[in-house]
Chains A and B, each alone.
Chain A
């Protein structure tokens, strides 16, 4: 008999944008060392800048949504009609061990498996550019790399990682519906019009359990994590951080 690895599964629907980022910071810090998969949505909708992104690049979009900055890299994401997830685990966990590229390929293989169950044929982009690529929009979904997940020739999952103190947090954003700020990207509603974030989350969680051999404990965030999120939420939407570069 092989014991299944215990993971936490957190779902927090309609989280305030600064709080969403601050809770992920708590998961990265890893007071609870178990691997964790968190699914969430945003209320109100928000525009998140990548950690190193220049404010001037996105300043024209201020006013279109609440602004936050992520601690993960990459371009900006409009968190409207989408499912967002975070996977936090030790850097030596089999999901993350080795090169960043390899860890992306593992995460994206799991997502592609889950999306196949919804009738969506998602695959790594490979060498050819995606049809959703745009120049100078500053948006994550308008820039693709060979290890991004695409379907219908367009980028459908935004991904970024933060690696700190021996842990990794992988951020992901899967578009359910279209956003005016992210024109031309792949969405799941084109294939599954009635798909809800919770249904997609459940589909992905089942694939993680099957493919990684883990067992999810469906929990609420811990008291210390909630206190951390409450204390740090303001920082992630502050001018000090949003306009840091």
Chain B
């Protein structure tokens, strides 16, 4: 079971409350799709400058594996407060711990809470990826 303390998007990002702010990352499923378990296949990650304003669904960065570049999409609207600078030099963090150490950006959200209907809880997300596999 994936962590129940956060919400998920259909494009495989997660978002979690952190005090008044939120932190955003990508799921283990997304990492697996990109690198098939070979953490060395993750090559680059471009993250936004702090201060940038993001809309829901907006592309805020990209991640490159040996064979694909994938967009990172904002689960909620807000302003970038901080990025995880250790990711670019240590992409293997995304494979080892996508839920905690592998966070990507911290946002000051435009609205409080994670109640938007397009966000899924862990059970709904797992049902979605189970359907994707078949």
A99 touches B33 (CB 8 A): yes
A164 touches B67 (CB 8 A): no
Q: Which residues on B sit within 8 Å (CB–CB) of A74?
A: 66-67
Contact status of A160 and B67, CB under 8 A, knowing A92-B132, A99-B32, A99-B36: yes
B32 touches A71 (CB 8 A): no
Q: Which residue numbers of B lie inside 8 Å of A, CB to CB?
A: 10-11, 32-36, 43-44, 46, 59, 62, 64-71, 73, 132-133
Q: Can you list 9 contacts pairing A with B, beta carbon distance less than 8 Å?
A: A52-B46, A52-B64, A71-B69, A73-B66, A73-B69, A100-B36, A160-B68, A161-B68, A165-B11
B65 touches A164 (CB 8 A): no
B128 shortest CB reach to chain A, Å = 11
| Known contacts A73-B65, A100-B36, then 15 further A-B pairs from the complex at CB < 8 Å, ordered by chain A residue | A51-B64, A52-B64, A52-B69, A72-B68, A73-B64, A73-B68, A74-B67, A98-B132, A99-B32, A100-B33, A100-B65, A100-B67, A161-B69, A162-B68, A162-B69
A196 shortest CB reach to chain B, Å = 29
9 A-B pairs with the lowest CB-CB distances in the bound complex, closest first: A161-B68, A163-B70, A164-B71, A73-B69, A101-B36, A52-B44, A100-B68, A73-B64, A52-B64
Q: Which residues on A sit within 8 Å (CB–CB) of B11?
A: 165-166
B74 shortest CB reach to chain A, Å = 12
A20 at interface by CB-CB < 8 Å: no
A104 at interface by CB-CB < 8 Å: yes
Q: Quick one: closest A residue to B36, CB to CB?
A: A101
Contact status of A51 and B62, CB under 8 A, knowing A99-B32, A100-B34, A166-B11: yes
Interface size bracket, A side: 20 to 34
Q: Which residue numbers of A lie inside 8 Å of B, CB to CB?
A: 51-52, 71-74, 92, 97-101, 104, 145, 147, 159-166, 168
Q: Which residues on A sit within 8 Å (CB–CB) of B44?
A: 52
Contact status of A165 and B67, CB under 8 A, knowing A100-B33, A100-B34: no
Q: Quick one: closest A residue to B69, CB to CB?
A: A73
Q: Which residues on A sit within 8 Å (CB–CB) of B59?
A: 164
Q: Which residues on B sit within 8 Å (CB–CB) of A163?
A: 68-71
**Docked CA distance A145–B62 (Å):** 22
